């Protein structure tokens, strides 16, 4: 799909798909797959954070469960909206 068309679709549907600058084409299927993956990862981190808050997991265990380094997991935790946790 042309990038201009992708931008219009993103604006109209308020879909958070990354559209690169300039002319060219974008693989919309890949963009949607990436968006779904990111939302699933966010949901996983949110669940692990709740387990940490309840004392069922340590940050180290949660990081291991999500296949992240502890610092990466802490950074991901800091990006969660407060109302999401």
Predicted TM-score of the model (pTM): 0.63
Is there a contact between 69 and 63 (Cβ–Cβ < 8 Å)? yes
pLDDT digits (tens, 9 = 90+) for 34-80: 888 888 888 999 999 999 999 999 999 999 999 999 999 999 998 88
H helices of 14-85, in order, are 28-53, 59-65, 70-78
């Amino acid at each position: 799909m042309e990038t201009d068309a992708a931008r219009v679709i993103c604006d109209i549907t308020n879909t958070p798909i990354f559209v690169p600058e300039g002319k060219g084409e974008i693989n919309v299927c890949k963009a949607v797959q990436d968006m779904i993956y990111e939302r699933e990862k966010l949901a996983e981190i949110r669940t692990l954070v709740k387990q940490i808050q309840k004392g069922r997991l340590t940050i180290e265990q949660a990081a291991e469960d999500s296949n992240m380094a502890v610092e990466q997991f802490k950074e991901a935790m800091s990006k969660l909206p407060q109302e999401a946790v």
